[in-house]
Amino acid sequence: MAVRRPLVVGNWKMNGLLADGVARVRDLCTRVVAEPPPCDVLVCPPATLIAPVAEALRGSPVLWGGQDCHAEDKGAFTGDVAVAMLADLGCRAVIVGHSERRRDHGETDAIVCAKAAAAHRAGLIAIVCVGESLADRDAGCSEAVVGGQVSGSLPQGASGANTVIAYEPVWAIGTGRIASAEQIAAMHRHLRGLVRARIGCGAGDMRLLYGGSVSAANAAEILRIAEVDGALVGGASLKINDFLAICRSCVAA
Ligand code: 13P
C-alpha cells in the first residue's frame, strides 16, 4: 500500500502585507523547527510576498508556493506570473484552478490543465483544485462534476510526484459550512478511483487534500478520514496557532 506523507497548504489568498506576512512565516518556521508536525507544510502567499517569504524560509522545513501561474512560459501577459518566476524564487508548488479563479477569471478545465502542465515543465507540483457548487450538490451531480473537472484539468504525465488534487466544495469555502465526514469520505473515495482509472499504478501515491472551512476545531475529524491526505486551508492559515493545530492534527503516514 502506498504511503503518502500528509500535506497541509496555507492559501493566504489576497491577504498580507510585507511586515505581517514575513512575521507570520518566521513564527511558523520557528515553531515547526521546534516541534515538527507529522506532515509537509506549504504556504502560498500572494505574489508580492513570495520573494520575502522565500528569503525568510530558505533552508527551513516549511515550503512555499504560488497561488496561480500563467500557462505560457513567458511573454506579453500583463500582470501574470510565469512558472519559471515561481521556480526562480524556490517555490515547490503552485495552486491551479482554485474555484475563486474559475469563478472570477473564467478559468476552464482546459486552462487549468495548461497551467498544471506549465507547472510540471518548471518542476513544480501542481495543486489542482476541484469542487462542486451548491447547485451541483443539490442536483445530486457532485461526483459527475468533480469527475469532469479531474479528467479535464489533469495534464498528461500527472503523477503522485508532480500533482496534488485538492477537493474544495465551493459551498464550504469561507462559509464556515463544512462538508460532512460522509460527504468528504465519499468524494475522496471517488477521487481515488478517478485517479486510479487515469494513471493506473502509482495512483496510490497522489495526495488528495480537502479544503473548505478547515479549522483547528474540525481538522482532526477531517484528517482522519480515509483517502484524505491533508488540507488546503484558507482563513485559518492566517492565524499561526490555528494553522499549526491543523498541521498537528494530521495522521502520520
Ligand atoms: P477557507 O479555509 O477560508 O474556507 O478557504 C478554503 C480555500 O479556498 C483554500 O484554498
- H or E segment at 111? helix 109-121
Residue 253 lies in a domain: no
Residue 34 lies in a domain: yes
Residue 158 CA to residue 203 CA, distance in Å, equals 10
Residue 65 lies in a domain: yes
CA 115 to chain centre: 14
Active-site choice (98, 120, 188, 190): 98
Contact of 37 with 31, CB cutoff 8 Å: no
Rounded mean pLDDT, 14-43: 98
Structural domain that includes position 105: 7-248
CA 64 to chain centre: 11
Q: Is 190 a catalytic residue?
A: no
CA distances from 10 to 15, 92, 146, 207 (A): 12, 13, 22, 16
pLDDT of residue 209: 98
Average model confidence (pLDDT) across the chain: 96
CA atoms within 13 A on the CB side of 63: 17
- By percentage, how much of the chain surpasses pLDDT 70? 99
pLDDT of residue 203: 87
Q: Which residues pair with 210 in a beta bridge?
A: 167, 231
Residue 2 lies in a domain: no
CATH code for the domain of 187: 3.20.20.70
Residue 76 CA to residue 218 CA, distance in Å, equals 44
What values do phi and psi take at 117, rounded to 5? -65, -40
Asked if pLDDT for residue 180 goes beyond 90, the answer is yes
- pLDDT band of residue 19 (cuts 50, 70, 90) is very high
Asked if pLDDT for residue 252 goes beyond 90, the answer is no
Contact of 207 with 164, CB cutoff 8 Å: yes
- Return the number of other C-beta atoms located less than 10 Å from residue 159's C-beta: 14
Cell of 167: 477537493
Region of residue 75 (phi > 0: left; psi between -120 and 50: alpha; otherwise: beta): left
- Nearest Cα residue to atom 1 of ligand 1: 234
Asked if pLDDT for residue 2 goes beyond 90, the answer is no
Number of domains in the chain: 1
| Tens-place pLDDT, residues 57-75 | 999 999 999 999 999 999 9
Rounded mean pLDDT, 63-91: 98
Residue 30 lies in a domain: yes
- Of 14, 94, 214, 242, the one to substitute when testing ligand 1's pocket (max ligand atoms within 8 A of C-beta) is 214
Q: Which residues of 35-53 are buried (b: 16+ CB within 10 A; e: fewer)?
A: eebebbbbbbbbbebbebb
Rounded mean pLDDT, 5-25: 98
Rounded mean pLDDT, 77-92: 98
Residue 201 lies in a domain: yes
Rounded mean pLDDT, 73-82: 98
- By percentage, how much of the chain surpasses pLDDT 90? 93
| Tens-place pLDDT, residues 186-228 | 999 999 999 999 998 888 899 999 999 999 999 999 999 999 9
Residue 233 lies in a domain: yes
Ligand 1 center–CA 232 separation, angstroms = 7
Residue 24 lies in a domain: yes
Cell of 16: 498580507
Minimum-distance ligand 1 atom for the alpha carbon of 175: 4
Asked if pLDDT for residue 101 goes beyond 60, the answer is yes
- Please say whether the dihedral angle defined by the alpha carbons of residues 124, 40, 59 and 66, taken in this order, is positive or negative: positive
